[in-house]
Chains A and B, each alone.
Chain A
Amino acid sequence: MSGLVVRMAWRNLGRNRRRSAITGAAVAFALFFAIMIRSMQLGIYSHMIDTVVGGMAGYVQVSDSAYWPSQDIDLSMVADKDWLNQVNAHPNVESASPRLSGFGLFTLAQHSEVGQWVGVDFTAEGTDSWIQRLDAGSYDIPDGQEVMPVWLGRRMAENLNSRLGDTLIALGQGFRGSPASGRLILAGTLKLGNPQLESRVAILHLADAQFFSGAEGMWGQVLITPKQPEKSLALTPQLANDLPLANALWSSWEERMPELQQAIEADSAGGIVMLFILYMVIGFGLLGTMIMLASERQREFTMQIALGVRRKLLAQMMLLEAFFMSLLGVIAGAVMGRAVTFYFHINPPQMVGEAAEAMESQGWDPVLPPSMDLSIISTHALVVVILTMLVSLWAVSVVYRSPAIQR
């Protein structure tokens, strides 16, 4: 019985090949367009969040309750390694690592730049991600030497006109009145995906930073990357509750950078409105096709009902036919969408001109890497299939209204 339904639905597709192809193409186009819009949007958002948040600010941050917004080194907190081990062991935490930072003047010959030095525990943060950020130089320089290695943001290194191996003088305010001063040897330059950071950040080993600023045993903040970074906001209070630390302030990036979060939400809503309009247009187009198709089949429905075919079977046939039609469109649209997003994944479009400048001034690289998240495809494939099925309810209603005799 169901074999009959499948066979007839499939063959019905071939009755008006041009119409089936055009309908499938409409579905394919809608899906392709949806995949492109959402992949580019979501890709840009995660690029923004990754570069602005993930790399340098942390999805979740823990600091002394008074640390923000001054980031004054005097408001650093006492290192608590037992607590840090607990954080790292928490099931929702991917990694947690302490940092210590402060501001200073970096000088090489006649050039001086104001910057922020940041002491980093490379091992705790994952050496891989730091190796990816390396523009030139290396990390193979042991710490604890008299001359401390430093890795500068590549723009800052350019501005200082420095080369690998040069010795810089750093001078700033240290912990509780002690001076932060020392000689730093340029071990490498970093690309941070964020032009602002690249022109002001100087990375040190955490131990060197503590020594250099007289803040031994202190952490400025602890950065936590959750297993699911997209759930940072909801996770932050839960982590704070599970991992209590006296006088600590827990914050997710959304709280620290509400403008970024709001900009993303507003932009995303705009994309969804666009898609909604697209789906409406495609939906009405499909409805027109379905109305024509059902009225062409009217005589056939009546003849079959007269012979003794149940209306339910005819309805199943029509639904299946619509499903096949949308499935062909979905496959074509998904393949095209995946192919094009994959191409842009390999060759991210580079923004130029004003848009690029605007992006740089907002703090991220002017590239548009699409999201490769397969759930974008499955979500919108489901949307277009449901849309087609809803539209094909028209044909179902025609079946149920069909009499057994030709009038």
Chain B
Amino acid sequence: MSLIQLNDVLKIYTSKAGDVTAVDHVSLSIEAGEFTAIVGPSGCGKTTLLNAIGGLDRPDKGSIRIGNSDITGMSDKALIDFRLNNIGFVFQAYNLIPVLTAMENTAFIMELQGVKKTERLQRAMDLLSAVGIDGKANNRPNQLSGGQQQRVAVARALASHPQFILADEPTANLDSSSTGQLLDIMAKLNADEGMTFLFSTHDQRVIDRARRVITLEDGKVISDVHV
């Protein structure tokens, strides 16, 4: 059984200017251990699709299954708890809680999950060294560069032992060397620990690192290539 299964997912935005079909009857499945990029021109529906998979937004039609759970029918509250325990998120920007240090941000989700203090501090420290910023564990986000902040976000996403990590344009605000570092870390986690990554991007250098590339156009999957 695949890790993520989308069945005929449809998302239409209605506005005064007219209806926009952002995700147009998409069906696809993602296996555990994949390192997959969703690509396509601006406005093709990447964010809309990832939001639906991440349980942040509801499709108008179709169903989404993650592991054994059909998230399409879940209540808002149930979805919050589902996200906490099953999905790691890395957003384009504004990932971290400003009043918490890198260490505390990393431990944050574990604390919500009720992981014991010694255990979560140990794991947070391990993860921060895995993403290469254990030296800045006690810095607050405003004392970190954009690339360092994204690496903390990856560490935090991993901390909760999610089924997969969802990242909407995680490198969009980064320069090329930070982009390279972040991708190295993600690829290493994927290779060493088998963590599944699903991310969207515009950036050709990022696309080049993906092992599967799903291309959208006008909300439809127009190509799906395993590298």
Contacts and interface: CB of A to CB of B under 8 A. Distances in A.
Contacts of A307: 83-84, 89, 108-109
Given A308-B80, A404-B56, A300 B109 contact: no
12 contacts: A1-B112, A8-B97, A11-B99, A15-B98, A15-B99, A300-B97, A306-B56, A308-B84, A308-B87, A309-B80, A311-B80, A405-B56
B81 A308 contact: yes
Interface string B91-107: 10011011110000000
B114 interface: yes
B56 A12 contact: no
A4 B99 contact: no
B84 A300 contact: no
B54 interface: yes
B86 to A, nearest CB: 9
A300 B83 contact: no
Contacts of A299: 94
B16 to A, nearest CB: 16
Interface of A: 1, 4, 8, 11-12, 14-15, 299-300, 303-311, 313, 404-405
Most chain A CB within a 10 A radius of its CB, from B55, B77, B99, B114: B99
Interface string B182-222: 00000000000000000000000000000000000000000
A310 B95 contact: no
A310 B114 contact: no
A4 B95 contact: no
Given A12-B99, A300-B97, A404-B57, A306 B89 contact: yes
Contacts of A303: 91, 94-95, 97
A310 B77 contact: yes
Contacts of B82: 308
A304 B83 CA distance: 11
B80 A305 contact: yes
B8 interface: no
A364 to B, nearest CB: 56
B5 interface: no
Contacts of B85: 308
Nearest to A307: B89
Contacts of B134: none
Given A11-B100, A299-B94, 9 more contacts: A1-B112, A8-B100, A306-B54, A306-B89, A306-B91, A309-B80, A309-B84, A404-B56, A404-B80
Contacts of B87: 308
Most chain B CB within a 10 A radius of its CB, from A300, A303, A307, A313: A307
Contacts of A11: 99-100
B51 interface: yes
Nearest to A311: B80
Nearest to A304: B97
Identify whether the interface residues of A are mostly helix, strand, loop, or mixed.
helix
Contacts of A304: 97
A15 B51 CA distance: 30
A15 B100 CA distance: 11
A308 B98 contact: no
Contacts of B84: 307-309
Contacts of A14: 99
Contact of B111 (A1, A300, A404): A1
A379 B59 CA distance: 52
Interface in B106-120: 108-109, 111-112, 114
A317 to B, nearest CB: 10
A293 to B, nearest CB: 13
Contacts of B80: 305, 308-311, 404
A308 B83 contact: yes
Contacts of A8: 97, 99-100
B80 to A, nearest CB: 6
Contacts of B89: 306-307
Contacts of B109: 307-308
A304 B85 CA distance: 14
A332 B90 CA distance: 43
Contact of A306 (B83, B97, B114): B83
Contacts of A405: 51, 56-57
B94 A1 contact: no
A351 B81 CA distance: 67
A48 to B, nearest CB: 53
Nearest to A308: B84
Contacts of B95: 303
Nearest to A4: B111
B201 to A, nearest CB: 18
Nearest to A11: B99
A306 B95 CA distance: 10
A304 B81 CA distance: 12
A156 B154 CA distance: 91
A307 B166 CA distance: 11
A12 B55 CA distance: 28
A307 B87 CA distance: 8
A4 B112 contact: yes
The 7 closest A-B pairs by CB, nearest first: A308-B84, A11-B99, A308-B83, A404-B56, A405-B56, A4-B111, A405-B51
A149 B95 CA distance: 90
A242 to B, nearest CB: 60
A379 B55 CA distance: 47
Nearest to B57: A405
A300 B91 CA distance: 12
Contacts of B51: 405
A11 B140 CA distance: 12
